[in-house]
Amino acid sequence: MDVKSAFLNGDLENEIFMRIPPGVEAKEEQVWLLHKALYGLKQASREWYLKLKGRLEELGFKRSNADHGVFTKIIDGEPFLIVDDFLLFLSNISHIGTVNKRHFEMKDLEEVTQSRPQ
């Protein structure tokens, strides 16, 4: 799965101001106060991770102590793994609805295939 504009979903914990980009009409001393993370912002990946982690924990997933990018949940006795930004490992495709798509706009990139080096 691919979360569209993932970093833009992150909420900022601190006030962050940025200079207005060239080409945008503004007074020289003006700056923008950001309400959401932007790509290229140092905090963007951390804020996205915190948002994703919170949502997955609300859905009952547990974060792995060995790798904080891996979340697991047992559904009907079967393991369901989410790795990083939604590489899903599940034995029953009907469980895919467990990941609620209402919170993030997502695109299904189909099954992962193994390619062998030549």
Which residue has better confidence, 54 or 7? 54
Q: What's the pLDDT tens digit per position in 25-61?
A: 888 788 888 888 887 788 888 888 888 888 888 888 8
Which residue has better confidence, 78 or 97? 78
Instruction: Report the alpha-carbon distance of residue 74 to residue 31 in Å, rounded.
Output: 48
- In this structure, what token pair is assigned to residue 104? 């993030």
In the predicted model, what is the mean pLDDT of the chain? 78
- In this structure, what token pair is assigned to residue 9? 């979903």
- Residues 79-87: contacts with CB within 8 Å, 24+ apart? 82/56, 85/1, 85/2, 85/3, 85/6, 85/52, 86/1, 86/2, 86/3, 87/1, 87/112
Per-residue pLDDT, averaged over 59-80, amounts to 84
Write down the domain spans for the chain. 2-107
